[in-house]
Amino acid sequence: LETPRHRANDCALESEEEVLPKGEGPLVLLVEDNLDFARIMKRLFQHHQIELVHAETGDMALGMLEAAPRAPSLVISDFHMPK
């Protein structure tokens, strides 16, 4: 996947306590510890009207999934993470 080049400050993430939203449109869960990459991905998906939520760790992602009012359409996960 090739992503466009953006400055990290151009695309702010929501709070770290973000939960999966209750909306009805496409939803993607991104599990990624690199915040710059996560911001770029969030902006890319928003450009295509796809909601992306971010978890920094696998444990955070599992917690979000367990508490979610709906399941994401897609989960994208980094597989080289410290935790």
* Digit-coded pLDDT (tens) for 41-74: 999 999 998 999 999 999 999 999 999 888 999 9
Instruction: List all residues 6 or more positions away from 27 whose beta carbon is below 8 Å from its beta carbon.
Output: 20, 21, 50, 51, 52, 53, 70, 72, 73, 74
Identify which has the larger pLDDT, 1 or 78.
78
- For the cut 50, the answer to whether the pLDDT of residue 8 exceeds it is no
Q: What is residue 62's three-state secondary structure?
A: helix
Residue 6: pLDDT band (50, 70, 90) is very low
Identify which has the larger pLDDT, 8 or 49.
49
Identify which has the larger pLDDT, 6 or 26.
26
Q: Which of 18, 23, 9, 10 is nearest to 51 (CA)?
A: 23
In the chain, pLDDT over 70 holds for what percent of residues? 70
Q: What is residue 54's three-state secondary structure?
A: strand
Sign of the alpha-carbon dihedral angle for 60, 5, 23, 16: positive
